[in-house]
Structure 1
Amino acid sequence: MTDITAAQRFSSGTAVVTGAAAGIGEGLARHLARLGMTVVVADLDAARASDVARSIESQGGQSIARRVDVADAADVEEMAAEVFDRFGSVELLINNAGIESSGFLWEIDIPRWERLMRINVDGVFHCVRSFVPRILDSGTPSCIANLSSVGGVTTVAVQSPYIVSKHAVLAMTECLYQDLAILDAPIQVSAVIPHSIRSDIFLAARRESPTTNPVANAVFDAMQRDNVEKGLDPLAAAEHMIAQIARGDFWILSDDEMCTSTTTRRAHQLLDLSPPAHPRAMLERMGVALTEGQR
């Protein structure tokens, strides 16, 4: 950890942010552009990515849009080659692209499970595999920040695919940290643990993979409500998280109090070898009522 500020560390160079057309990714892209970086707004939604890039440019920043499907290894490889051909180096890679899904684990259909894992887990792997060798060849000090979640350090009912994927991203990030340490490579690795940042992720999950499970629907309704009412502004969250990345932290938290509380509960569960908590208390806080047969 150092005293370097985000304004010092990220005042120039190239940043690639996946899933940057909305939500957390958009907030990160906009903040990095304001600091002075050239930002590659990478997203599956080409139109929204272009809108974000144009908006950044209109505000005096430097940005390009790049449609990419992180689930497609060849597409990611092509993007990495184009970025390095154009800019010569990447000082910051943020693997943010991800989707949600709801329902009891056994109710998740196979195509949805596979798509979520291809985006949330394989997408991070594809970016690491395509960008790390080029970063090493360039010799430029860089950082790779992978978006896990508070869900990556705990477990939550009716969100199994997402939770599994975020545990995998956290494990992958810790392994990447250790692999690069063997090489003494000039690449910082950070695990980003967001709590609640305003986005459309819950709405998109309901739209793309609807479920008839009443508990899952009630939970996602409650999470969407809380996200709107209590979720952090993406730009404010980005500023807080980028400051931690600039310092060289491994653990990057969007909300220090909430994220630390979650990791502390997880630590106690593992130390005590306790089973997962019954979700009843969580559901009650959300205002979700269980029927007699669901208790």
Structure 2
Amino acid sequence: MITNFKGKTAVLTGAGSGFGLECARIGAKLGMNLVLVDVQQDALDQATAEMQALGAEVLSFRLDVSKADQMQAMSEAVFERFGAPHFVFNNAGVASGGMIWEGTVSDWEWVLGVNLWGVIHGVRLFTPMMLEAAAKDPSWQGHIVNTASMAGLLNAPNMGVYNVSKHAVVSLTETLYQDLRLVSDQVGTSVVCPYFVPTGISQSQRNRPAQLDSQKPTRSQLIGQAMTDKAVGSGKVTAAEVAQKVFDGMAADQFYIFSHPRALGNVHSRMECIVQQTNPTDPFAERPDIGRDLKLALRAT
């Protein structure tokens, strides 16, 4: 169990907004060194200034987490400045909606690049550093937190590209947990699965690279965007509350961290279908109005 965060170093991707920013705020108040990573310069600058004002030592990087060379350079700079980080928050993420067959190659490359490859790079670059530090010091402790989503445990319709990316993050992190347990008791990992929480993810298109520019949105993509905006904007659990759950979870070595535990009924239903070998049920069974409204919107002429 990790109880002392003071003086420890944390790397946070997607640190300019949402969960990343709120985790950075908690880290700064706990006296941590912070490595802030974001693709949006103005948001990164604001976060950097805020954390420095709170007294944190900050190292900032504007980069695209999907790019191996940029992540490599960042990891080397972190090691040179602070040594192996004690905490890595692979948090950067983007959202995408629409029928799964309507996703363009650029849609897939963008969403998987950020949501999955960003996590892959964080894990492959920092885990060896952390294990080496642990091997040299029996008291050294570290933790890797990967942000997935309830979309990594459910398969809501009209969200296919996003679902695929987040299921992959859950799988990656569960495997990381098992692999770490084989080689060390000093480095842990958690997967965060938020449901609808007010963050900037529903406006992800603002940071989409020009070379991965999207075509004119299809009808289903426009409907998906509107529904996501409404669901995320009306969320009652705040990003700050989720960030506190993350720190509490790390301290308790808790693997699955949920913003909305009550939504696990839908996950249970999905698993029952798998075990019973029945066809998939409505992933919004506890909120049938969502599926009904989506069907009506998509079938309207």
Shift of 1:14: 0.4
Amino acid corresponding to residue 21 of structure 1 in structure 2: G
Give the match for residue 55 of structure 1. Answer: 50
Tell me if 1:154 matches 2:158: no
2:275 is aligned, of 254, 264, 271, to 271
Give the match for residue 192 of structure 1. Answer: 192
Tell me how far apart the structure 1 counterparts of residues 74 and 26 of structure 2 sit (CA, whole Å). Answer: 22
Amino acid corresponding to residue 202 of structure 1 in structure 2: S
* SS in structure 2 at match of 1:9: coil
Amino acid corresponding to residue 89 of structure 1 in structure 2: A
Tell me how far apart the structure 2 counterparts of residues 131 and 193 of structure 1 sit (CA, whole Å). Answer: 22
Tell me how far apart the structure 2 counterparts of residues 279 and 215 of structure 1 sit (CA, whole Å). Answer: 18
Give the match for residue 243 of structure 2. Answer: 238
Shift of 1:158: 1.2
Q: Deviations over 1:85-106 (max 9, x none)?
A: 1012311101011111111111
Matches within 5 A, 1:86-165: 86-139=81-134, 140-165=140-165
* SS in structure 2 at match of 1:102: coil
Give the match for residue 183 of structure 1. Answer: 183
Give the match for residue 258 of structure 2. Answer: 253
Shift of 1:255: 2.4
User: Is the CA contact (8 Å cut-off) linking 2:89 and 2:145 kept in structure 1?
Assistant: yes
Give the match for residue 224 of structure 2. Answer: 219
Tell me if 1:285 matches 2:285: no
Tell me if 1:66 matches 2:61: yes
Pairwise CA RMSD: 2.5
Tell me how far apart the structure 1 counterparts of residues 119 and 254 of structure 2 sit (CA, whole Å). Answer: 19
Structure 1: 5+ residue stretches without partners? none
Tell me how far apart the structure 2 counterparts of residues 25 and 171 of structure 1 sit (CA, whole Å). Answer: 21
The two structures have a TM-score, normalised by structure 1, of: 0.89
* SS in structure 2 at match of 1:39: strand
Specify whether residues 294 and 183 from structure 1 end up closer, same or farther in structure 2 by C-alpha distance, changes over 3 A only.
farther
Amino acid corresponding to residue 147 of structure 2 in structure 1: L
Tell me how far apart the structure 1 counterparts of residues 28 and 249 of structure 2 sit (CA, whole Å). Answer: 17
Tell me how far apart the structure 2 counterparts of residues 294 and 279 of structure 1 sit (CA, whole Å). Answer: 22
* SS in structure 2 at match of 1:230: coil
Specify whether residues 267 and 207 from structure 1 end up closer, same or farther in structure 2 by C-alpha distance, changes over 3 A only.
same
User: Is the CA contact (8 Å cut-off) linking 1:21 and 1:49 kept in structure 2?
Assistant: yes
Amino acid corresponding to residue 269 of structure 2 in structure 1: R
Q: Deviations over 1:172-220 (max 9, x none)?
A: 1111112222212521011111112211212224895475433442333
Specify whether residues 289 and 137 from structure 1 end up closer, same or farther in structure 2 by C-alpha distance, changes over 3 A only.
closer
Amino acid corresponding to residue 232 of structure 1 in structure 2: V
Q: Deviations over 1:200-246 (max 9, x none)?
A: 21222489547543344233312212322224221122112211121
Tell me how far apart the structure 2 counterparts of residues 266 and 212 of structure 1 sit (CA, whole Å). Answer: 30
Specify whether residues 211 and 266 from structure 1 end up closer, same or farther in structure 2 by C-alpha distance, changes over 3 A only.
farther
Structure 2: 5+ residue stretches without partners? 135-139, 209-213
Give the match for residue 137 of structure 2. Answer: none
User: Is the CA contact (8 Å cut-off) linking 1:143 and 1:189 kept in structure 2?
Assistant: yes
Tell me how far apart the structure 1 counterparts of residues 117 and 289 of structure 2 sit (CA, whole Å). Answer: 35
Q: Deviations over 1:239-276 (max 9, x none)?
A: 12211121101111122323x33332232222222322
* SS in structure 2 at match of 1:195: coil
Q: Matched residues, percent identical?
A: 28
Tell me how far apart the structure 2 counterparts of residues 137 and 292 of structure 1 sit (CA, whole Å). Answer: 53
1:82 is aligned, of 71, 77, 82, to 77
Amino acid corresponding to residue 267 of structure 1 in structure 2: M
* SS in structure 1 at match of 2:278: coil
Q: Deviations over 1:108-129 (max 9, x none)?
A: 1111211211111111111111
* SS in structure 1 at match of 2:296: coil
Give the match for residue 211 of structure 2. Answer: none
1:37 is aligned, of 17, 23, 32, to 32
